[in-house]
Amino acid sequence: MNASTETARETPGSEDAPPVAETAVTAPAPIRLDKEEIPTVLGKLRTLVQDKTRFEPHDITPLGEEDVLQDFSLQANYALEARFEQRVINGYFAPAGNDCRCGSHEVGALAHAQEKERLRRAAGKLDNALRQAGQAYNGVEAGVYLPHAVKYWHLDTCGTCHGKGRIGCHTCHGATTETCWSCHGGRTVSCNAYGCYGSGKVSCSYCSGSGTVAEQVTDYVTVQVPTTTYSNGSSHTSYHSETRTQYRTEYRSCYHCSYGKVSCTTCHGAGNVNCGTCRASGQVTCRTCSGAGDLRCNPCDGSGKVGKAAWVDVHVAPGYSVSLPKQAPDDARRIRDKESVHSLAAIASSLALAKVSIYNEDEPQEVDALYAARLRIVRLDAACNGDKHHLVAYGTDLRWLTLDDIVEKLLRGDLKALSDALAGSADDGLFSAHVQGLLTPLRDVAASELNADVIESVLSGEADHAHVDVVSADYANNVRTCVLGALRQVYTRLAKQFWWKSALAALAAAIATWFFAGRGAAAVAGLLVTGAGYWLFNRKVKAVLSEALGGERQALRAMQIAGKGRRNQLAQVLILAPASLAVLAASYGLPARVRPAAAP
């Protein structure tokens, strides 16, 4: 890199300076547009003023313009790496036509010996690719650039299976069967019937395992029953015998079991049953080899051969940087710091390959491509409202570097008028309902579409507000505060004019409905009229804003901004709360109507 340049790098290169082989490339003539086709900064500025503000393009007066092509250099640095790769292979390895079989000790050494030659070949391929007509400066992607041309490999007989591809099963040792895991070779397992669990006994179903049963016994008992008679003031008691029945419960031993237990019907009292897993044989098919008796050898994957293969792939890692001459102006440096390397290349007026440099041709690990480029920079001196401004734009699409607040100063006059109107409205008193003093400055601010774009972007929480290159963050916050404050005043003052009408209409509707249908229907009717009043209030706001701002679209956008900023909540309360309270008070305060009974 020349010592007389300043560089902004996207990927830092090597600090060491190995020998360089430079190849000069004749640069084609810079690509330039015809003068009639080149967009002008003055035209772009006037278009911005005309499309996004209420002002006229002729409010901007040009004083002088400088249109230059700034030279800069774009360097593409390609770091080459010969990457050694080695893999374990087996008998299924299929060598390509150029692959070379060699001794086991030679595999790695022969592959490493290819590194320099592969690097030289990759550097030559890259050099030719960069010289191709129409080759983009960033056309080489990171990754494998030059795949291997030959693999060096070697195979030996597998020492694990001795070339057979299979080894004996370590579980059954070739027997194809293994001891049953359920009975462990005993052929029987403990009975798992309910209550038995290997004991051979289960609970008796007659006595529920208690060993005794209850029986009801009937006894006949003779008792003496007294009888008392009264005669002439004296009594006489006599007795007679009666036979009565008595019931009692007796417990006896259960005849069906022995101490509450009977023989298990599943194991017939043995406590064990034949193993169902091995069918009482004690052996099952080996689960490891599935009954084959041997297994596929893992090291050779059943091929009987193992070995290794090695090769060299050349990888490339591109990095890009931009350099400016030492005498480059400050605005050119600001543009370089603002834009990325690829962005500058995209908006450059011309970009042509100047030279290709290969470092250390014996073992090239770095290739540089230097591109000569030019960037259009336009500096415009203009006057607006008696003030002089210096504007700078750059690139084929004329991106703004600085507008010197020329558009913001146009808009600040309207913003100051609105701010003064808001300050004056604070002294109008609590019950003031006049809105005309706010509508005129609000109309001027809203007539500039740029203000609405900025407010919406600020309310949505975006990191950068809209038109960040045109107006400052301070202006964006001020216009948001003033416009939302004005909309809140408009909503609130119109609500002061309207709230008593809505409440009176809702109360009248509730009383009229009560007269015919009672209190419940009166409350419903009053609330419906309250909702209708809120709808009419919004129509009133829309009509006032449409007349003030010059159209229904502007009014709807202003109402959306007020809703997003929650500046219409007080007006909503003023419209809905009094009417709703009046309706509810009337529905509870009015007496219940009782229909007269029909004549018989």
Calculate the average pLDDT of the chain: 84
CB atoms near residue 4 (< 10 Å): 9
Residue 379: name the closest of 42, 73, 60, 43 by CA.
42
Residues 282 and 426 reside in one and the same domain: no
Domain count, the chain: 2
What mean pLDDT comes out for the span 489-509? Answer: 86
How do beta strands 20-24 and 350-359 pair? antiparallel
Q: Cα separation of 550 and 439, whole Å?
A: 11
Rounded to an integer, the average pLDDT of 369-382 is 94
Task: Give me the residues paired with residue 294 across strands.
Answer: 168
Q: 395-408, pLDDT tens digit by residue?
A: 999 998 988 888 88
| Structure-model confidence comparison of residues 592 and 317, the more confident one | 317
How many angstroms separate the CA atoms of 132 and 75, rounded?
Answer: 17
End-to-end CA distance of the chain: 117
Out of 296, 320, 355, pick the residue that ends a domain: 296
| Domain assignment of residue 6, yes or no | no
- Asked if residue 355 is part of any domain, the answer here is no
* 344 domain-assigned: no
Residue 8 has pLDDT above 80, yes or no: no
Per residue in 346-364, pLDDT (tens digit) is 999 999 999 999 988 888 9
* 45 and 392 Cβ atoms separated by less than 8 Å: no
Which is more confidently placed, 236 or 394? 394
The residue range of the domain holding 530 is 406-589
What pLDDT is attached to residue 384?
84
Same domain, 290 and 411: no
Q: Are residues 281 and 423 in the same domain?
A: no
Of 277, 296, 315, the residue that ends a domain is 296
CA 206/CA 138 separation, integer angstroms: 94
Question: Is 260 a member of any domain?
Answer: yes
Place of tokens 């034949």: 274
- Rounded to an integer, the average pLDDT of 212-228 is 84
84 belongs to a structural domain? no
Q: Which of 250, 280, 296 is the last residue of a domain?
A: 296
- Residue 270, classified by CB atoms within 10 Å of its CB into exposed (0-12), middle (13-18) or buried (19+), is middle
User: Which carries the bigger pLDDT value, residue 585 or residue 147?
Assistant: 147
Whole-number Cα distances in Å, 173 to 186, 238, 283, 286: 21, 104, 14, 10
Q: For residue 342, what pLDDT is reported? A: 94
User: DSSP letter string over 9-24?
Assistant: ESS---SS---EEEEE
More confident residue, 550 or 163: 163
492 found inside a domain: yes
Which tens digit of pLDDT belongs to each residue from 407-454? 888 888 888 888 888 887 764 544 555 777 778 888 888 778 887 788
Q: Which range, 372-376, 417-421, 457-461, 567-571, is most confident?
A: 372-376
Q: What is the DSSP track for 389-456?
A: EEEEEETTTTEEEE-TTHHHHHHHHHHHHHHHHHHHHTTS-TT----HHHHHHHHHHHTSHHHHHHHH
Query: Across residues 121-143, what is the average pLDDT?
Result: 92
Whether the per-residue pLDDT at 25 is higher than 70: the answer is no
Domain assignment present for 83:
no
Residues 286 and 421 in one domain: no
Q: Which residues pair with 333 in a beta bridge?
A: none
Whether 277 and 411 share a structural domain: no
289/436 same-domain check: no
- Res 28: pLDDT: 39
User: What is the pLDDT, as a whole number, of residue 448?
Assistant: 80
434 in any annotated domain: yes
Q: Is the pLDDT of residue 599 over 70?
A: no
